[in-house]
Amino acid sequence: MYKLELIHDKNCQRLEVGFLPDLVATNSELVKFVAEKLPQLIENESMRGRLLKINGAQSIAIAYHIAHKVAPLYGAVAIFDPKLSGYVVSIAHDPEYELGMVLSDEPVIV
């Protein structure tokens, strides 16, 4: 129904998200789907660490839910902005990452 795939890059993790082709679902259905699948991904894929990069299309409802669940697990969360060709830090607990900092699309070595 909706893509949620965790990629383990060099010392960071990237969450690939997105609407599947020919999807016929409401935002209400999609956020419930993500709410069911994300905890499994968190546990099975050991989602936690210093930095999570999120890339892909998501509605505001989905984005808020993902942020709520992953923010306590990472030192920083950054969202891909194609206009900047990089990831914008939107949640920062780690002093290495400042809000608004633009990170390269390349894997981060920390």
Overall pTM surpassing 0.85 (yes/no): yes
- Exposure string for 77-107, b = 16+ CB within 10 A, e = fewer: bbbbeeeeebbbbbbbeeeebeeeeebeeee
**C-alpha–C-alpha distance, residues 46 and 40, integer Å:** 10
Provide the pLDDT for residue 110: 42
What distance in Å separates the CA atoms of residue 108 and residue 66, rounded to the nearest whole number? 21
What is the per-residue pLDDT across 14-62, written as a single tens digit (0 to 9) for each? 999 999 988 889 999 999 999 999 999 999 988 999 999 999 999 999 9
pLDDT tens by residue, 59-105 = 999 999 999 999 999 999 999 999 999 999 999 999 999 999 999 87
